[in-house]
Structure 1
């Protein structure tokens, strides 16, 4: 009886054998490996989804902002195809003072002020229009180059480039003296060094004569003055060495009009733009528009966007090509 009790105690106190331990370790490794595999797979899926979301966000920003400029191109407050007097000094010397067709595209380099960081073999577009809000002229005195406007809160400053128009003609001129908030008088004298590029004459009539008084023209009450805006859209290389969508704009710097490039969104590696002309069966590249830029009705913008990280097949970036067609509102109304 005593022997049986001793044998049972020894069997109860025995530990796990080597075989059981090895089996447990192998099972543990299998479970750990499976868990790691699931984690890595989920992490890769998350990264791919996150990068695809970034691509979609970049495309929304790019198309939304760019479409605004395209829709408003060639838009001016009075009427289309008015005779135009551009009295700026040497207006063809800068892209943002050479007002003509409202829209202009290139397959290669711009003839004037081509951005230094622009990527070769990508398209670019130049868009010009008047701002939607302006002020009303109450009186114009050509001899003293002065406009009276309907409010002291006109937001016109020295150096602003503006368009004044009625339903017979329009003129592009630089403001040489204005005091927003305190005075309703807006002056457009021949300015010399007081503004840049300055005005070559007081006269705002057609044809332009760059003499002291120029070609006379008086804008009557209810004429309109609006600020002008110029914008170029192109693909450039940013300071990080990555491709991005850029917007080059005209701005006032003190009393001078200058050109400034702004990065809009990173990851846009290519842009191709085609244009629709009246009666055209299909969209054509910039080279096919020729001298008919004043007839362009719409632009078809194709953007290629790359993901921030290389999370695609074989370690490549995710890439999407998206197309957006924008109608020029002022050519289709």
Structure 2
């Protein structure tokens, strides 16, 4: 009897096959990793760019809104109003001289805050804010307090207010805690005012909040440059982060035709009442470094800005008219 030996068949994978499979796997993993790193970098760039643009648009809008309202006192023409300030310590008089004040690169500005100014110009804008509340009591004769219809504008102790009938106006500081009764009494005692009496006003007079809002770039607690705003109360408010530089150019009306005849970066004190427009230039930076492939160079404020790092930088600009110096339509 003849027996045929069984053929031995290979089982499993050979060494060469395993090495080929491992090589293909490494290539596949490397490709996936490359795609992940690329998409992550693209997302990081897109995210930083969108945040920078959002911050830039917001900062530009906030500053522009206050510039438009500069010098507003609730009346059509502030120049025709006889303004008297009794608030003490004294606050700047709400007039054409103080409506817009420039401190070129911070020169001459007394910083009332603990925030260190980092760079750029400083702009102070003064106006009356809120919708205005009519007087309802203690109208005449001149009185040590006034009464208004409720307190819809939430006036508080220490606020600087103006009462005006568009012929006369008094600027005073509130010394009591008004509350929200109807009527609401606003006192202006000698403790915070030079005298405790304002002029005689009728029911056509109204009360508005007065403030001088000053914009500057300072270092925030995280060590980043940020746009700050400080009012007459001396409290600094951080508005938006990563504002690297801020420059203003002012349009002057030299011949009383209510149009800008020249633009200057540092107007003199005599030129401040002739400002009819302001060109706002903001240089924004991205939140993260090492986004750009190389340090950027961008045109800013009529010059080249060379970035000190590899962040993204973008310029936001707008020219804003001072509404209260334009002719009535």
Cα deviations across residues 149-199 of structure 1 (Å, max 9, x unaligned)? Answer: 4x234544443211111232222112334644335364555422xxxxx11
| Equivalent in the alignment of 2:299 | none
CA–CA distance in structure 1, aligned partners of residues 117 and 175 of structure 2: 37
**Could you list the runs of 5+ residues in structure 2 that have no partner in the other structure?**
254-258, 295-308
Verify: 1:201 aligned to 2:229, yes or no: no
Verify: 1:229 aligned to 2:211, yes or no: yes
Cα deviations across residues 80-105 of structure 1 (Å, max 9, x unaligned)? Answer: 212211112341xxxx5454421112
Task: Trace 1:304-319 onto structure 2 (pairs within 5 A).
Answer: 304-310=283-289, 311-314=291-294, 316-319=310-313
Which of residues 10, 17, 20 is equivalent to 1:20?
A: 17
The 1:275/1:221 distance shift into structure 2, 3 A limit, reads same
CA–CA distance in structure 2, aligned partners of residues 223 and 33 of structure 1: 76
The 1:2/1:305 distance shift into structure 2, 3 A limit, reads farther
Contact 1:244 1:265 in 2 (8 A): yes
Shift of 1:123: 0.7
CA–CA distance in structure 2, aligned partners of residues 178 and 39 of structure 1: 60
Shift of 1:148: 4.1
Which of residues 52, 69, 72 is equivalent to 2:66?
A: 69
Which of residues 272, 275, 290 is equivalent to 1:293?
A: 272
Name the SS of the counterpart of 2:13 in structure 1. Answer: coil
Shift of 1:270: 1.0
The 1:31/1:135 distance shift into structure 2, 3 A limit, reads same
Contact 1:145 1:202 in 2 (8 A): yes
CA–CA distance in structure 2, aligned partners of residues 21 and 111 of structure 1: 75
Name the SS of the counterpart of 1:241 in structure 2. Answer: coil
CA–CA distance in structure 2, aligned partners of residues 84 and 119 of structure 1: 33
Contact 2:117 2:217 in 1 (8 A): yes
CA–CA distance in structure 1, aligned partners of residues 123 and 55 of structure 2: 19
| Equivalent in the alignment of 2:173 | 174
CA–CA distance in structure 2, aligned partners of residues 33 and 157 of structure 1: 64
Verify: 1:136 aligned to 2:115, yes or no: no
| Equivalent in the alignment of 2:325 | 331
Cα deviations across residues 249-278 of structure 1 (Å, max 9, x unaligned)? Answer: 23xxxxxxx310011111111111111122
The 1:201/1:26 distance shift into structure 2, 3 A limit, reads same
| Equivalent in the alignment of 1:238 | 220
| Equivalent in the alignment of 1:277 | 252
Contact 1:304 1:320 in 2 (8 A): yes
Contact 1:173 1:188 in 2 (8 A): no
CA–CA distance in structure 2, aligned partners of residues 97 and 299 of structure 1: 21
CA–CA distance in structure 2, aligned partners of residues 316 and 271 of structure 1: 20
Task: Trace 1:58-207 onto structure 2 (pairs within 5 A).
Answer: 58-78=55-75, 79-81=77-79, 82-91=81-90, 97-100=92-95, 101-107=98-104, 108-138=106-136, 140-149=139-148, 151-153=149-151, 155-177=154-176, 179-182=178-181, 184=183, 186-192=185-191, 198-202=192-196, 204=198
Contact 1:140 1:146 in 2 (8 A): no
**Could you list the runs of 5+ residues in structure 1 that have no partner in the other structure?**
193-197, 205-216, 251-257
TM-score with structure 1 setting the length: 0.80
Name the SS of the counterpart of 1:34 in structure 2. Answer: helix
Name the SS of the counterpart of 1:56 in structure 2. Answer: helix
Shift of 1:14: 4.8
